């Protein structure tokens, strides 16, 4: 004996069509939302990133540094700020040209980035100055600063005229353990330490404004 299947009512069929169309519309909206989120992320990265070095712009770095300092204070973790400056950079521009100077900054920025963890911050503070912020112990921060200094010192730069030359860095490091959880204060102390590094013969690291780590 055959069982007869009763067809749905016109009203039920219309509702099913509406539901199907709504589901399709929802899928399109979800796809567009994900695309918008991706585009927003790319746009934010473009706004925050320095065109030449691909590091954070100064303004973006400062916002992130303030957040890092506040979070670190709440978590009881140390924060270290490094001010990094290319020694005799004006001489590089005068000798090899400003375009070569730009390449030097790009290559140094790439070398610095190699030692950055995802949670660390690296930005272009101004001109040839690079600023780094990281959590961790003082010894760890000092070791990172030394690795950056060392790898740049041994790296061969090449001018547009295919002339090889080398550059060195001076680095100043300040720690929240010594100077407290205040972003501007840490930057000021790191900058003062950098000044002492340059006054001490360059190509060296001054840690917390009183400890010299010779090259």
Burial class (CB in 10 A: 0-12, 13-18, 19+), 44: exposed
Question: How far, rounded to the nearest angstrom, does the alpha carbon of residue 123 sit from its chain's CA centroid?
Answer: 5
Q: If DSSP codes are grouped into helix, strand and coil, which group holds residue 16?
A: helix
Residues 48, 128, 129, 164: which is the catalytic one? 128
Token pair recorded at residue 157: 């730069």
Distance between CA atoms of residues 87 and 177, nearest Å: 28
Characterize the bridge pairing of strands 129-135 and 79-86.
antiparallel
The residue assigned the tokens 């010299």 is 212
Catalytic annotation present for 21: no
Cite the active site residues. 128
């Amino acid at each position: 004996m055959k069982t007869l299947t009763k067809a749905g009512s016109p009203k039920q069929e219309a509702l099913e069509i509406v539901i199907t169309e709504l589901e399709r519309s929802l899928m399109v909206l979800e796809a567009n939302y994900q695309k918008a989120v991706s585009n927003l992320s790319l746009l934010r990265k473009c706004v925050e990133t320095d065109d030449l070095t691909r590091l954070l712009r100064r303004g973006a770095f400062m916002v992130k540094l303030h957040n890092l300092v506040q979070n670190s204070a709440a978590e009881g973790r140390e924060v270290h700020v490094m001010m990094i400056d290319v020694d005799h950079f004006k001489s590089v521009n005068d000798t090899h040209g400003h375009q070569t100077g730009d390449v030097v900054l790009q290559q140094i920025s790439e070398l610095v980035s190699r030692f950055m963890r995802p949670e660390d911050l690296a930005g272009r503070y101004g001109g040839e100055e690079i600023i780094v912020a990281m959590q961790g112990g003082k010894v760890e921060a000092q070791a990172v600063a030394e690795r950056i200094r060392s790898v740049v010192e041994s790296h061969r730069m090449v001018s547009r005229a295919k002339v090889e030359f080398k550059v060195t860095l001076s680095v100043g490091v300040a720690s929240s353990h010594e100077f407290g959880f205040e972003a501007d204060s840490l930057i000021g102390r790191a900058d003062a330490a950098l000044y002492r590094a340059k006054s001490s013969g360059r190509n060296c690291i001054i840690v917390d404004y009183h400890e010299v780590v010779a090259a």
